[in-house]
């Protein structure tokens, strides 16, 4: 899953980003409202973490513009000052889905992000499956033919993305935009390398099972049964 943090305090933004990446999320960060608005309006995010007080464009206005002008309904967790009831009410009234007062424990933020991710625009599956391959987004357990498969964090995120779009041909650009962060220094060849890693672990390691990863020449990749 891909998240967006819009937070001008760089220390806080970095701490949240690191914590979420350790939980196998892909994370983009913006440090002002205008940049955050541009990313939120053009990116495909599961949850947006939005600070209320931002330079260039405040959180309330940003939230309102996303909901009314862009018609974007990605779940928004708004960060507010402790005890600022008026701001909390304003945030919820303009379309935020939840709020969290600063300072907060990371465990609580993570719980709220997970709760919001479970009720997006359409229901998000927690256990993804194709043929005899399963991936649990809560326990991070991946299995094929009931055998456990050890994946790196990036391999897990890539496989989750492929499973959520199973049967669909995905271009390298789509995969890069969804599996790597906005400012990641990667090349199209990076996608090929990681697809090779996945093939080794979920296809070639199970010769008695049908291959699931397909290369569609000139277009990209597809995860599908034969």
- d(CA 79, CA 77) in angstroms, rounded, equals 7
Give a yes or no: residue 145 inside a domain: yes
Q: Which residues contact 141 (CB under 8 A, 6 or more apart)?
A: 134, 135, 148
Q: Can you give the pTM of this predicted structure?
A: 0.68
159 shares a domain with 100: no
3-state secondary structure at position 30: strand
pLDDT at 12: 94
Shared-domain flag, residues 7 and 112: yes
Does residue 40 sit within a domain?
A: yes
Over residues 92-140, the pLDDT tens digits come to 777 888 888 888 999 999 999 998 987 655 445 678 999 999 999 878 8
Q: Which of 117, 152, 178 is the last residue of a domain?
A: 117
Residue 208: what pLDDT? Answer: 92
User: How high is the pLDDT of residue 180?
Assistant: 86
Does residue 64 sit in the same domain as residue 88?
yes
**Which is more confident, 196 or 102?**
196
Q: For residue 9, what is the domain's CATH number?
A: 3.40.50.2300
* Cis preceding linkage at 103, omega within 30: yes
H or E element that contains 85: helix 85-93
Q: What is the pLDDT of residue 82?
A: 58
92 with 194, same domain: the answer is no
Q: How many distinct structural domains can be found in the chain? A: 2
CATH code, 200:
1.10.10.10
30-56: average pLDDT: 94
pLDDT in the model for residue 123: 46
Angle 73-43-192 from CA coordinates, rounded to 5°: 135
Both 110 and 132 in one domain: the answer is: no
Q: Which of 86, 117, 148 is the last residue of a domain?
A: 117
- Domain with 70 in it: 2-117
Candidate from 26-40, 76-90, 182-196 with smallest mean pLDDT: 76-90
Tell whether the model's pLDDT for residue 162 goes beyond 70: yes
Are 52 and 59 in contact by the 8 Å Cβ rule? The answer is yes
Residues 137 and 207 in one domain: yes
pLDDT of residue 61: 93
Q: In angstroms, what CA-CA distances link 176 with 33, 72, 89, 119?
A: 24, 22, 37, 25
pLDDT band, residue 91 (cuts 50/70/90): low
Whether residues 33 and 54 fall in one domain: yes
The pLDDT, as a whole number, for residue 87 is: 67
Going by C-alpha positions, the residue among 208, 216, 215 that lies closest to residue 131 is 208
**Residue 223: strand, helix, or coil:** strand
Positive or negative, the CA dihedral 39, 42, 47, 48 is positive
In-domain check, residue 122: no
Other C-beta atoms closer than 10 Å to the C-beta of 100 total: 18
Average pLDDT of every residue of the chain: 89
> Same structural domain for residues 37 and 132?
no
Same domain, 213 and 138: yes
């Amino acid at each position: 899953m891909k998240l967006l943090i819009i937070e001008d305090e760089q220390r806080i933004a970095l701490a949240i980003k690191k914590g979420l990446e350790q939980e196998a999320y892909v994370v983009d960060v913006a440090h002002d409202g205008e940049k955050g608005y541009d990313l939120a309006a053009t990116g495909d995010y599961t949850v947006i973490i939005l600070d209320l007080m931002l330079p260039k464009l405040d959180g309330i206005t940003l939230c309102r513009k996303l909901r009314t002008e862009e018609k974007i309904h990605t779940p928004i967790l708004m960060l507010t000052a402790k005890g600022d009831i008026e701001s909390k009410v304003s945030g919820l009234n303009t379309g935020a889905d939840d709020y969290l007062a600063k300072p907060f424990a990371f465990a609580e933020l993570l719980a709220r992000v997970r709760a919001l991710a479970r009720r997006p625009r359409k229901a998000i599956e927690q256990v993804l499956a194709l043929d005899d391959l399963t991936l649990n987004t809560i326990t991070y357990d991946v299995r094929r033919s009931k055998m456990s498969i050890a994946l790196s964090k990036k391999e897990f995120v890539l496989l989750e993305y492929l499973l959520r779009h199973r049967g669909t041909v995905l271009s390298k650009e789509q995969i890069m935009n969804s599996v790597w962060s906005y400012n990641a220094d990667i090349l199209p060849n990076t996608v090929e390398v990681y697809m090779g890693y996945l093939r080794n672990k979920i296809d070639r390691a199970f010769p008695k099972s049908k291959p699931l990863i397909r290369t569609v020449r000139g277009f990209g990749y597809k995860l599908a049964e034969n």
